[in-house]
């Protein structure tokens, strides 16, 4: 078409797999959401929201009582010392990223981890910024400096650094050393850090460190209720901004983009965070994820495939040697009725990789894995 | 700050009045929402949404069943013949306008009615487009042609024409003749029309015509559930796009801006539209609005102030001769505890105007009017 967006570059193979995988008989391992049911307490919270009159516009940064509950949670769980005036409640994690990218990086360049969430490039391009992939394990002072120099030569500025820990898709957890190096770089070269921590509650090994707990004044941290509460439809996320002034500017952008997130949904978020309802079930979910990973690991080993088990998050990310992931995903969907995310969408060297969701009932997960590997075995012959 | 947005130009006096008017003892006539309570059926719909499992991501254009119900409603009520694939469910009317402006008018110019909703300039600027005001009564072929020529001389393109009928703030209803002239102009000069019809259910005199019922292929129509259902917190609106391809592009933009509107809220919207729950109460609300307007009219006449009574919408828009609306609104808020919208924000010649909401219980409305006019009388001495 004749618009300013290049639509071919902002729609991925995985987007198309997800759009195609609608029939109820399809095993959906392509999705970025836990397949577990949400807590029954959500039902009560919705009722309460209506009864208490949460049916109207909220302040554009979100309900004051919600931002206070978030501030308490951040202090307790993330060791981030922040004031409600530095928090903006957004339309999910994507809504948060969109606002940040538009505010700080329009026309400039953002680095993202390789592999990294398949939608980062699209969200960045819709916000009219550009991107550079950097190997997630090498993400640190030296790699960033090298990327910056390359950009300088092209007259471009490295404006922001995205980190995603635990990572989607690999489940990688950034080490404290890495986080400190990234902070040092950001400080030395006036870059911002955007820390996407939407999988903070899914830790399988080691521990999660919020980078803003180390230093906060160049960091935007993004959280979401989608994964922790199995409520991707709630569309509630939040940003912890570097300071009050930047939070205000993000708020003005949100006001003129959508006014505010849904009031009912904000009230549900308040109940979830204030009452810590995830404590009821999160360790059970993590056991299921670990069990699923064990099953997959055994099956991959049987075929001599080596992979790295995730340390966090809700995905397994592994190679199927000699496949073309773009072709494989669409054929698998058609022939075996299993939907998976396409490795090629997650960076620059993942044509033989696929990503599957591990936050699924074991019975379904196993059936999905069996079909994937059965199809893989068939095409290897 | 050092960003690409000029924040001073995207925050209005009225935004600041609304932000200041928080205390419960303030009579809030500044708000763009009916003060009536929403139907109790919303409560049931929320419960049903949870029980039926509407807790997850929806398709980025919105639930299929909702878009089908909207398509039926459009055919029945607006005489717009459209397919669900041409409809995008958005995060309120503002979310709809933002997506459209970004898609079609980035860097180009949009005309808006004078007087016109105080947030249009901000939403347009955040979408990186520019604007020109045109007298709403003169909005037609000749005025548009003149505006276009003026822009041409500056090397700018008139890309889109916003109409808002019934109007916020004036309650003006565009005539069929005017609509046809605007369509002719759009056709002759390849412009798009964006028809904001969020007040379609508030008709006090005459009738509402959806411009897309006359011709559809250059028209984006924007609707919202906020006003009709007194659910500004629901954050559900929708766009009827000129065609399927444009709808698809808007959908991709929405996907990478916020994924989709809240799933619960979409289900509530489905129930509202499918069950036409506004039919229970809308004529009662309109009687109240008319009664409020009569009261105001009498009080203004007593002071020899002439004004034009609204033909639709939920506002009264009138001059208070010799005031400076910017100063008046803040002083009124402080001294009389009444919040009103600032005339100066609504276009180019309204410094002596204020806008107040008429969709308010008569007792409160009268008290508000009495305090406004009392203060006006005081400062005239």
- Pairing, β B341-342 against β B338-339: unpaired
pLDDT > 90? residue B9: no
pLDDT at position A8:
83
pLDDT at position B3:
60
Q: Quote the mean pLDDT of chain B.
A: 96
Q: Identify whether the C-beta of residue B41 lies closer than 8 Å to the C-beta of residue B275.
A: yes
Query: What is the four-CA torsion angle of A289, A291, A295, A301, rounded to 10 degrees?
Result: 90
pLDDT at position A74:
98
A58 to chain B, closest Cα gap in Å: 7
pLDDT at position B11:
87
pLDDT > 90? residue A204: yes
- The residue count of chain B comes to 381
B227 alpha carbon, distance to own chain's centre: 9
Considering only CB atoms, A126 lies closest to which of B49, B231, B256, namely B256
Q: What contacts 24+ positions apart, CB below 8 Å, involve B175-178?
A: B176/B209, B176/B214, B177/B140, B178/B139, B178/B140
**A119 vs B: CB within 8 A:** yes
pLDDT at position A3:
60
Task: Find which of B262, B263, B265, B270 to mutate to test the A interface (most A CBs within 10 Å of its CB).
Answer: B262
Confidence class of residue A165 from pLDDT cuts 50, 70 and 90?
Answer: very high
**B110 vs A: CB within 8 A:** no
pLDDT > 60? residue A205: yes
Burial (CB < 10 A; 0-12, 13-18, 19+), residue A73, is middle
Query: If you average pLDDT over residues A218-236, what whole number do you get?
Result: 97
Q: Which residues contact A89 (CB under 8 A, 6 or more apart)?
A: A58, A61, A62, A63, A66, A67, A70, A236, A237, A238, A260, A261, A266, A269
Do the Cβ atoms of B95 and A119 come within 8 Å? no
Query: If you average pLDDT over residues B93-108, what whole number do you get?
Result: 94
Query: If you average pLDDT over residues A90-113, what whole number do you get?
Result: 95
Residue of A nearest to B6 (CA): A249
pLDDT > 90? residue A6: no
pLDDT > 60? residue B2: no
Q: Which residues contact A309 (CB under 8 A, 6 or more apart)?
A: A171, A204, A293, A297, A316
Residue of B nearest to A46 (CA): B46
Q: Identify whether the C-beta of residue A196 lies closer than 8 Å to the C-beta of residue A239.
A: no
Q: Quote the mean pLDDT of chain A.
A: 96
pLDDT at position B154:
93
Do the Cβ atoms of A233 and B55 come within 8 Å? yes
For residue A329, say if its preceding peptide bond is cis, omega within 30 degrees of 0. Answer: no
pLDDT > 50? residue A51: yes
Confidence class of residue A45 from pLDDT cuts 50, 70 and 90?
Answer: very high
pLDDT at position B1:
45
**B106 vs A: CB within 8 A:** yes
pLDDT at position B344:
97
pLDDT at position A94:
98
Dist CA B323 CA B325 (whole Å)? 6
**B306 vs A: CB within 8 A:** no
pLDDT at position B5:
82
ipTM of the complex model: 0.96
Query: If DSSP codes are grouped into helix, strand and coil, which group holds residue B138?
Result: coil
pLDDT at position B116:
98
Query: If you average pLDDT over residues A135-140, what whole number do you get?
Result: 96
Task: Show residues of chain A in contact with B261, CB under 8 Å.
Answer: 91, 235, 262
pLDDT single digits (tens) B231-254: 999 999 999 999 999 999 999 999
Q: Say what percent of chain B tops pLDDT 70.
A: 99
pLDDT at position B102:
95
Query: If you average pLDDT over residues B83-109, what whole number do you get?
Result: 96
pLDDT at position A1:
45
pLDDT at position A36:
92
Q: Which residues contact A375 (CB under 8 A, 6 or more apart)?
A: A328, A331, A332, A335, A336, A338
Hey, what domains does chain B have and what are their CATH numbers? Answer: 7-36+281-380 (3.90.1150.10), 53-277 (3.40.640.10)
pLDDT > 90? residue B105: no
Confidence class of residue A86 from pLDDT cuts 50, 70 and 90?
Answer: very high
Min mean pLDDT across A29-38, A175-184, A199-208 is at A29-38
**A1 vs B: CB within 8 A:** yes
Query: If you average pLDDT over residues B67-77, what whole number do you get?
Result: 98
pLDDT single digits (tens) A269-293: 999 999 999 999 999 999 999 999 9
């Amino acid at each position: 078409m004749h618009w300013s967006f290049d639509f071919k570059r902002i729609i991925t193979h995985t987007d198309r797999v997800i759009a195609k995988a609608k029939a109820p008989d399809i095993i959906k391992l392509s999705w970025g959401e836990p397949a577990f049911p949400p807590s029954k307490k959500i039902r009560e919270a919705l009722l309460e929201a209506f009864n208490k009159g949460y049916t109207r516009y909220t302040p554009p940064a979100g309900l004051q009582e919600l931002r206070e509950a978030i501030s308490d949670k951040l202090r307790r769980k993330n060791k981030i010392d922040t004031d409600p005036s530095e928090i903006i409640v957004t339309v999910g994690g994507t809504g948060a990223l969109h606002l940040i990218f538009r505010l700080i990086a329009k026309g400039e360049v953002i680095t993202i981890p390789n592999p990294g969430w398949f939608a980062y490039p699209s969200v960045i391009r819709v916000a009219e910024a550009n991107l550079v992939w950097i190997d997630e394990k090498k993400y640190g002072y030296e790699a960033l400096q090298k990327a910056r120099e390359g950009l300088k030569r092209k007259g471009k500025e490295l404006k922001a650094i995205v980190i995603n820990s635990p990572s989607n898709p690999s489940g990688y957890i950034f080490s404290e050393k890495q986080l400190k190096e990234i902070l040092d770089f950001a400080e030395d070269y006036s870059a911002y850090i955007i820390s996407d921590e939407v999988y903070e509650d899914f830790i399988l090994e080691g521990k999660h460190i919020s980078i803003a707990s180390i230093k906060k004044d160049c960091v935007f941290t993004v959280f979401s209720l989608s994964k922790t509460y199995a409520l991707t439809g709630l569309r509630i996320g939040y940003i912890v901004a570097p300071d009050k002034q930047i939070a205000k500017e993000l708020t003005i952008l949100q006001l003129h983009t959508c006014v505010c997130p849904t009031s009912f949904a904000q009230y549900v978020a308040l109940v979830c965070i204030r009452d810590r309802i995830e404590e009821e079930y999160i360790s059970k979910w993590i056991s299921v994820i670990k069990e699923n990973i064990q099953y997959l690991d055994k099956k991959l080993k049987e075929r001599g495939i080596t992979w790295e088990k995730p340390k966090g998050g809700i995905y397994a990310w592994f190679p199927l040697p000699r496949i073309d992931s773009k072709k494989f995903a669409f054929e698998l969907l058609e022939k075996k009725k299993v939907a998976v995310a396409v490795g090629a969408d997650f960076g620059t060297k993942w044509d033989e990789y696929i990503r599957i969701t591990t936050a699924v009932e074991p019975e379904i997960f196993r059936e999905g894995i069996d079909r994937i590997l059965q199809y893989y075995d068939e095409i290897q012959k």
